[in-house]
Amino acid sequence: MNNGSMHAAAVCFELRVPESRSLKAKRAAIRPIVEGLRHRFRVSVAEVDHQDTWQRAAIGVALVAESARHLHDVMDNVERFVANAPDIELLDIETEWIGAGVAELTEWEAEPGATRESDSS
């Protein structure tokens, strides 16, 4: 047991859907990503911005895990899943880390836009 420490991350993926010519087409491209993340990785996910824009989307993903290593592994797979999704371009990733032990994950912290918050108590 890890003495009640909590490990969590929230990521926002800024996406472009270049072939979209309507909100319906955009949602058809985004829906498989959202549903795939939810079912494959068991994370919380939602479209969080640009709901009324045809070619832009922002997807927010959150996860609480039992260890920093598990959190890192799942979030790495989530990022890969989104980056490889068909019919979208990944424009930006913004990551917020919460929890003890996340500082050791220097590979993720080196990513552009990645930040970390922790409780020092």
Domains annotated for the chain, with CATH where assigned, are: 9-117 (3.30.70.1120)
Give 15-74 pLDDT, tens digit per residue. 999 998 999 999 999 999 999 999 999 999 998 998 888 999 999 999 998 888 899 999
In terms of average pLDDT, the best of 40-44, 99-103, 104-108 is 40-44
CB distance 54 to 22 below 8 Å: yes
Compare 106 and 35 and report the one with higher pLDDT.
Answer: 35
**What per-residue confidence (pLDDT) applies to 50?**
84
Q: Which two tokens stand for residue 52?
A: 């009324």
More confident call, 98 vs 117: 98
Q: Are 78 and 38 in contact (CB under 8 A)?
A: no
DSSP state of 41: H
